[in-house]
Structure 1
């Protein structure tokens, strides 16, 4: 399948190994994992960063290769249950941050045509994601603009 804003084909990614249960060397209690997930979220980590920290550091020194296999829930589901979920979905938040950085760069460097195009592509992706999440994750009347993105991310 081709990439969104180029004519080139995408590179293939790796697949997760098929597993029905966590490995026996990772025998951490599900409640401890959930409390660690909430603790990391309160420290300001995103769900993807939480997964990486649990994989690398683990809980009480034992790594957690897959939170969903160990607990039966995704990281975002655990955060929803404990009211530690962020206001914006992580992918939309990251794209908005990127669009803000690009806009500030293009305003400071108006001759940079390559980054003008990158800004257009990024804002296009943001608008597409906003229409996807509208009504479920974000307000039904939300429309993306630079000022709205700055206002949302300052909170």
Structure 2
């Protein structure tokens, strides 16, 4: 699939190995993994950061290679069951943070045309994602603007 804002084609990524059960060396308790996921979410970590922390630090010193294999549920399902999800989806939040940073940079450097283009591309991605999430995870009347993004991310 081609990249959205360049003329280049996308690079192929690696596929996750197919596995039905956790590896033999990983003997973690499903309840302990769920408790650690909720604990990390309450500390303010995003789902992708939680997955990396479980992979690197683990639960009680034992790494968790895959949350779904260890618990039978996806990480986001665990967060939804325990009402530990954020107010914005993670991908939309990270794009808004990037757009705010680019906008602040543009205020200081108005002649930086390359970053002006990057800001336009980022804001178009945000609008497309907002259309996707509108009604389910966002209000039905949500529209993106710089002021709305700053207000949402301050909370």
What band does the TM-score fall into relative to the shorter chain? over 0.9
CA distance in 2, matches of 1:50, 1:73: 14
CA distance in 1, matches of 2:60, 2:67: 15
- In the alignment, structure 1 segments of 5+ residues that lack a partner are none
TM-score by length of 1: 0.99
* Counterpart position of 1:30: 30
* Counterpart position of 1:100: 100
* Counterpart position of 2:4: 4
1:70-116 CA-partner distances (Å, limit 9, x unpaired): 11111111111111110000000000000000011011100000000
Counting matched residue pairs gives 155
| Aligned-residue CA RMSD (Å) | 0.6
1:2-53 CA-partner distances (Å, limit 9, x unpaired): 1000110111111100000111111111000000000011111110000000
Moved over 3 A (4+): none
* Counterpart position of 2:143: 143
TM-score by length of 2: 0.99
CA distance in 1, matches of 2:25, 2:137: 37
- Answering whether residue 134 of structure 2 is matched by residue 130 of structure 1, we say no
- In the alignment, structure 2 segments of 5+ residues that lack a partner are none
